[in-house]
Amino acid sequence: MDVTAQRLVLVSNRLPVTVKVDRGDLAVVRSGGGLATGLRGPHEQSGGLWIGWPGDVSRLADAQRRKLDAHLEELRCVPVYLSSVEVSRYYDGFSNAVLWPLFHYLLDRIPLHSQEWDVYRAVNERFADAIARVWKPGDLVWIHDYQLCLVPKMLRARIPGANIGFFLHIPFPASEVLRILPWREQILEGMLGADLIGFHTFTYRSHFASSILRVLGLSTPGDRVVVDGREIKLGVFPIGVDAEMFGRLAQDPEVLAEVASIRAGARGERILLGIDRLDYTKGIPRRLLAYERLLEREPRWRGKVRLVQVAVPSRDKVPSYQEFRKTVNEHVGRINGAFAQVDWVPIHYVHRSLTEKHVVALYRAADVMVVTPLRDGMNLVAKEFVTSRPDEDGVLVLSEFAGAAAEMGEALQVNPYDIETMARVYSDALRMPEEERHLRMRALRQRIASRDVHHWAQSFIEALRSARGAEAAAKAALTSPDDLAELSARLRSAERLVLLLDYDGTLVPFARAPDLATPDRGLRDLLTALAAKPGVRVHIVSGRSRETLERWLGHLPIGLHAEHGYWSRVALDRPWMAMADISVAWKADVRKILEQATTATPGALVEEKTASLAWHYRMAEPELGAARAEELGHRLEIVLKGSPVELLRGDKVIEIRPTGVNKGRIIERVREDAEPPPPTLVAMGDDQTDEDLFLALPPPPEGIAIGVGFRPTVARYRVASPGAARALLESLVHER
């Protein structure tokens, strides 16, 4: 499939350009880096646009600003200009002071108070506005990273039909960590505005799925979640590097000359190499301490190995980063002071940016590459090192908490918090036999080359297109607005109309606890208005107990049917009647089993009805509840085999009811109670128990079934949600 067939609108915090002014002359230079490299091809080939902040251009004169705009337009870049205050508060104050440490599990670095949320939200609105201004039908919109988590939902509100992808380039934390954030709901809901949400690893995707389950109550069967009738795909797309470019640089004569110079300068010493941004997530202090421990524990390495640590300046104006730089400098100074000899310095510390050629030369010259972040979304340095070694030599020491660890099993993986073990692994890496080095490196190179940054970009774009295709298929299953309007008009004109309405999941969304799904005033008014229309009878057909329906809706002039039809009150002035000849002798034994499961599952509860039992686990810890429900279902199937009961699996509930008790039996009762001529029967429901009701209806046009949601159904008509179901019912009262 040609991924350039549709225009690609890329959105990131920064544009892939650098604006330079030298003696009044303005230049716009393309930036390097994995993201810019990987997306340059799709951006150019699709005739796409790239939206982002161009950097601080506040000091440009008006003429320079006009020249900049012209340059950016030529590059198909759309600037979102931000003031210095906005950058300070949205980028430094919230994105990097709150989200960055939180998503990297460094909770002690989160400020005690943050007043920057409003600015973060406002800047995300600015980005959504910028996208909406340039969007055209058919565009693919791809939004990047934690600075713009709210944009997908904001853009969805502006352009409901937009095809939106979101990719998170940093780790997504475990739900226990995310839930610390006061704005956790807004962050999750913002991301869920996309059609496709991408992560580097299965672990990050799993953490996101767990978080939306625990925070928003949304379950994720497989790799999808349904929100407001939209199906959202959760994907895993580990980003790669430009393997071909690094391989080419590694053979460049200038690079090879630099490699020879580095090796000559080392005078036979083995080289441990670390290259990182100077960021507290990269684990530099612990890496230095592990190197110190190596020199303490194995004195034979003194004078025979050096650690070259390149620390690229990062966020120099942020106080916490200034303090971190001071800490690193102190470690370097102390270790060098303790172990240096007249002709040997253990740590060569470089605090500046290096050219790509110099970096690749260091990769080729190193004996051991040390990549030991405390937490990292991916870490492309590890992949760059591998692709820069056409000699298939060198050893990679890699933190198990880097996203790259999931793909790089041949690396020597370490826990960066374990100083003693890291020191031992450094020694193992330095002593590794040549044959083993080549074996490990060869396997790493083959894998990383096949999953380069271009493969990453193409995979995501193809998945985004297919995700919209899946959503289109789901939406195609919904009844069109025109057909719903025609149905509404037909029902309004019916001489006699009987409405058979399920409650939970149909008229109200599912609640965390059964008793919390009480009818709101709007629903009570709607049911009353429907029942007041001439020729219209309203019946609630629910699995709820008789007592609950009586308490919530018993005063309304409608029919009530509880426990899937075991109890019925066909009108306000009629008594409750139960089905005859229904045995409940099985309940005592089943109750014991359910109570055992409840004891073992905090948050679960047993609901007892006249003729059935239900085990609810919506309030249980999600993973535990799902596992216990699976175990309980299997046990009950064995225990109840041959018994006159059936097992129903619903949304966070398992119900056991007598065979023959189902909602379809209600059709007989309402028809017996109906006055001539025969009424039009309309049934509306969302789950498997409602299928019994649908199947018992007379054929159209006398019987009409309306499914709610996206599960398979025999219903001729389908709406997306309880809100849409109520809107259809309201149209019977108030013609629109």
Superfamily covering domain 8-236: Glycogen Phosphorylase B; (3.40.50.2000)
Q: Which residues pair with 539 in a beta bridge?
A: 500, 559
pLDDT tens by residue, 415-451: 999 999 999 999 999 999 999 999 999 999 999 999 9
Q: Residue 473's pLDDT is what?
A: 54
What does the H/E/C string look like for 298-339? CHHHCCCEEEEEEEECCCCCCHHHHHHHHHHHHHHHHHHHHH
Do 243-451 and 587-658 agree at the fold level? Answer: no
Q: Which helix (H) or strand (E) holds 198?
A: strand 196-199
* Cβ atoms of 613 and 597 closer than 8 Å: no
End-to-end CA separation in angstroms for the chain: 44
Six-digit token pair at 103? Answer: 């998503």
Give the burial class of 217: count Cβ atoms within 10 A of its Cβ; 0-12 exposed, 13-18 middle, 19 or more buried.
middle
SS3 110: coil
Across the chain, how many H-helices and E-strands are there? 26, 28
Q: Which helix (H) or strand (E) holds 399?
A: strand 395-399
Q: Which residue has the higher pLDDT, 38 or 310?
A: 310
Amino acid (1-letter code) at residue 190? G
CB crowding 457-495: b at 16 or more within 10 Å, else e:
bbbbbebbbebbeebeebeeebbeeeebeebbeebeebe
Q: Residue 55's pLDDT is what?
A: 87
What's the rounded mean pLDDT across residues 392-412? 96
* Cβ atoms of 647 and 689 closer than 8 Å: no
DSSP code for 92: I
Q: How far apart are alpha carbons 18 and 32 in whole angstroms? A: 10
Q: How far apart are alpha carbons 706 and 717 in whole angstroms? A: 5
**Read out DSSP for 501-527?**
E--BTTTB---SSGGG-PPPHHHHHHH
Res. 32: pLDDT tops 80? no
Mean pLDDT of the chain: 91
Residue among 242, 279, 502, 686 flagged as catalytic: 502
Q: Residue 2's pLDDT is what?
A: 46
Q: How far apart are alpha carbons 694 and 698 in whole angstroms? A: 9
Res. 4: pLDDT tops 50? no
Amino acid (1-letter code) at residue 681? L
Six-digit token pair at 637? Answer: 């199937």
Q: Which residue has the higher pLDDT, 650 or 428?
A: 428
Q: Residue 596's pLDDT is what?
A: 94
Q: Residue 671's pLDDT is what?
A: 83
pLDDT tens by residue, 175-224: 999 999 999 999 999 999 999 999 999 999 999 998 998 888 887 777 88
DSSP code for 404: G
* Cβ atoms of 1 and 465 closer than 8 Å: yes
Cβ count near 377 (within 10 Å): 25
CATH architecture of structural domain 587-658: 2-Layer Sandwich (3.30)
Q: How far apart are alpha carbons 53 and 203 in whole angstroms? A: 31
Give the burial class of 215: count Cβ atoms within 10 A of its Cβ; 0-12 exposed, 13-18 middle, 19 or more buried.
middle
Kindly calculate the radius of gyration of the chain based on its CA atoms and give it in whole angstroms. Answer: 32
Res. 24: pLDDT tops 70? no
Res. 472: pLDDT tops 70? no
DSSP code for 221: S
Superfamily covering domain 478-579+661-733: HAD superfamily/HAD-like (3.40.50.1000)
Q: How far apart are alpha carbons 186 and 628 in whole angstroms? A: 31
Which candidate, 358, 416, 361, places its Cα nearest to that of 389? 361
Would you call the peptide bond into 701 cis, given omega within 30 degrees of 0 as the criterion?
A: yes
Q: Residue 475's pLDDT is what?
A: 57
Would you call the peptide bond into 722 cis, given omega within 30 degrees of 0 as the criterion?
A: no
Res. 372: pLDDT tops 60? yes
What's the rounded mean pLDDT across residues 581-596? 88
Res. 3: pLDDT tops 50? no
The CATH number of the structural domain formed by 243-451 is: 3.40.50.2000
Is 502 marked active-site? yes
Tell how strand 140-144 and strand 163-167 pair up: parallel
Q: How far apart are alpha carbons 155 and 139 in whole angstroms? A: 13
Q: At what angle do helices 243-250 and 356-365 cross, to 10 degrees?
A: 70
pLDDT tens by residue, 519-568: 999 999 999 999 999 999 999 999 899 999 999 999 999 999 999 888 99
Domain boundaries, the chain: 8-236, 243-451, 478-579+661-733, 587-658
Amino acid (1-letter code) at residue 172? F
pLDDT tens by residue, 292-313: 999 999 999 999 999 999 999 9
Sign (positive or negative) of CA dihedral 230, 233, 234, 239? negative
Q: Which residues contact 634 (CB under 8 A, 6 or more apart)?
A: none
Sign (positive or negative) of CA dihedral 138, 144, 147, 150? positive
Res. 33: pLDDT tops 90? no
Q: Where are the beta strands (DSSP E) in 49-180?
A: 49-53, 77-79, 140-144, 163-167
Q: How far apart are alpha carbons 265 and 344 in whole angstroms? A: 11
* Cβ atoms of 380 and 402 closer than 8 Å: no
Q: Which helix (H) or strand (E) holds 29?
A: strand 25-30
SS3 474: helix
Question: How many CA atoms does the CB half-sphere of 126 hold within 13 Å?
Answer: 21
pLDDT tens by residue, 135-185: 999 999 999 999 999 999 999 999 988 999 999 999 999 999 999 999 999
Percentage of the chain surpassing pLDDT 70? 97
Give me the count of residues in the chain: 736
* Cβ atoms of 320 and 328 closer than 8 Å: no
Q: How far apart are alpha carbons 347 and 340 in whole angstroms? A: 9
Q: How far apart are alpha carbons 413 and 400 in whole angstroms? A: 5
Compute the C-alpha angle 92/94/98, nearest 5°: 110
Q: How far apart are alpha carbons 662 and 465 in whole angstroms? A: 42
Q: How far apart are alpha carbons 486 and 495 in whole angstroms? A: 16
Res. 34: pLDDT tops 80? no
* Cβ atoms of 385 and 396 closer than 8 Å: yes
* Cβ atoms of 568 and 577 closer than 8 Å: yes
* Cβ atoms of 341 and 301 closer than 8 Å: no
80 pLDDT tier (thresholds 50, 70, 90): very high
Cβ count near 687 (within 10 Å): 21
